[in-house]
Amino acid sequence: MMTITIDTDGSGLTIACAIKPELRAASDTEMPADLPAAGFGLLPGNGDEYIVTSGGLQGQRGFFTRDDNGTIVGADLAGRLFTRVRTTSR
């Protein structure tokens, strides 16, 4: 239903949330606006938990999921799991 995009500019992390375009197009009612990139930070501990620090999701917590090799394969945000589908290198 949604896509989240986690990114960095080298000095901090951001998270953006967007309703999938095909769902928006098929809806008979107006859907809420997408949420632009907002800051988030890692919480103390094992490094896999985070909290959104600004924007429309401020205060929401989540965590990263990893495969057996330790590679991040998903992110949980407010109880919803988003699987990693692509990465881009800078």
Cα distance between residue 13 and residue 7, in whole Å:
6
Q: What is the pTM of this model?
A: 0.80
User: Which residue type sits at 61?
Assistant: R
Nearest partner of 12 among 40, 52, 44, 48, judged by Cα: 40
Interval 60-81 mean pLDDT: 92
Neighbours of 4 (CB within 10 A): 15
Dihedral sign for Cα atoms in the order 27, 30, 20, 66 = negative
Residues constituting the chain = 90
Interval 37-64: pLDDT, tens: 999 999 998 879 999 999 999 999 999 9
